[in-house]
Amino acid sequence: MSRIAFIGLGVMGSPMAGHLVRAGHEVTGFDLGQEAMARLRAAGGASAAGVAEAVKGAEIVITMLPADPQVEAVFPEILGSAEPGALYVDFSTITPQTSQKLAREGAARGLRVLDAPVSGGEKGAVDAVLSIMVGGSREDFEAATPVFEAVGRTFKLVGPAGAGQYVKAANQLVVGGTYALVAEAIVLMEAAGVDAAAGLDVLAGGLAASRILDIKRESMLARDFRPGFRIDLHHKDMGIILDAARGADVAVPMGALTAQLIAAARARGHGGLDHSALLKVTESLSGRDS
Ligand code: NAD
């Protein structure tokens, strides 16, 4: 069992830190929000007054933060306070370039760094069944396996530093595009006056089946857009995808279209809603605002 520092106890980090406590690890967390830290204490963990205090003495340091700026803001403190040879696992979704930079700077100071973005949403975090795509060395991946086992079900080393973020970009490309198409399917069926709930049940049993249809079709039909995964975060991810595609010299036309629909959702003030709220943009394109 390890001493673990956990920075970022939001929608995802909070249940993940709880699973690590239950797996027998000694978890000290830090978040800017007091409520988040109270949740960790209630789950049996400890809270710290800052990043440095949480990181001191930890064998494994974890971050689960919104985006590049927050990860880059806490990383110098992690570097400055981590024990020599400590393992740093960043579960946040950020750009591959930033992950590669953290790995380089960490290696220069004896910090072993893995980028390990996750998929599975809040439900996947709560149920400890996340999919985890890991970039880094085989040795560090194996050292982090007890952490991955506590929070996830499918985890794979997909390449060197930054590789996990490329796979996560691919994941968000498929998730965003699928939401856009499910939204169009709903708008079409409702406008045609057919039973959309029954229709989606049939879709979910055929070739169009997907996790999104399984988990989200009822809430989308009910226009329940409580997050979950916020439009703001998916907007950030679409930026990562388009940037990664440009860097790899490939065209992702469906991704570019999805990025515009998500940007429209955000521009219409839906940034704080779940990404299934893409449905609101799709409806609006057909003059069918709900
Ligand atoms: P969130 O906003 O709910 O949580 C982030 C937490 O980080 C917040 O509690 C915030 O207070 C804290 N924080 C921000 N800056 C900090 C700092 N400097 N020091 C300490 N704490 C700080 O976000 P989330 O939904 O948990 O997402 C976290 C990451 O996981 C993102 O990169 C997101 O893209 C990714 N992700 C989210 C989901 C999802 O369904 N929510 C799914 C997969 C991946």
To which CATH superfamily is domain 3-161 assigned?
A: NAD(P)-binding Rossmann-like Domain (3.40.50.720)
Residue-wise pLDDT for 53-107, tens only, equals 999 999 999 999 999 999 999 999 999 999 999 999 999 999 999 999 999 999 9
Atom of ligand 1 minimally distant from the CA of 121:
40
Query: Residue 169: its pLDDT value, please?
Result: 98
**pLDDT for 193 beyond 90:** yes
Task: Map out the domains of the chain as residue ranges.
Answer: 3-161, 166-285
Burial 154-184 (b: 16+ CB within 10 A, else e): ebebbeebbbbbbbbbbbbbebbbbbbbbbb
| Cross-strand bridge partners of residue 16 | none
pLDDT at 228: 87
Calculate how far, in angstroms, residue 233's C-alpha sits from the geometric centre of ligand 1: 9
pLDDT at 239 over 90: yes
CB 118 near ligand 1, within 6 Å: yes
Query: What 3-state DSSP class applies to 16?
Result: helix
Give pLDDT, residue 59.
Answer: 98
pLDDT tops 90 at residue 139: yes
pLDDT at 290 over 90: no
62 pocket-lining for ligand 1 (C-beta < 6 Å): no
pLDDT-above-70 percentage for the chain: 100
User: For residue 251, how far is its CA from the centre of ligand 1 (angstroms)?
Assistant: 29
Is residue 276 within 8 A of residue 220, CB to CB? The reply is yes
What CATH number is given for 166-285 in this structure? 1.10.1040.10
Q: Is 155 touching ligand 1 by the criterion CB < 6 Å?
A: no
Contact indicator for 85, 29 with CB cutoff of 8 Å = no
Out of 31, 131, 167, 215, mutate this one to test ligand 1's pocket (max ligand atoms within 8 Å of CB): namely 31
pLDDT above 90 (res 22): yes
- The pLDDT tens digits of the residues spanning 165-187 come to 999 999 999 999 999 999 999 99
pLDDT at 117: 98
31 lines ligand 1 (CB under 6 A): yes
The finding on whether 12 has its CB within 6 A of some atom of ligand 1 is yes
Task: Please say if 168 is a catalytic residue.
Answer: yes
Per the document, the length of the chain is 290
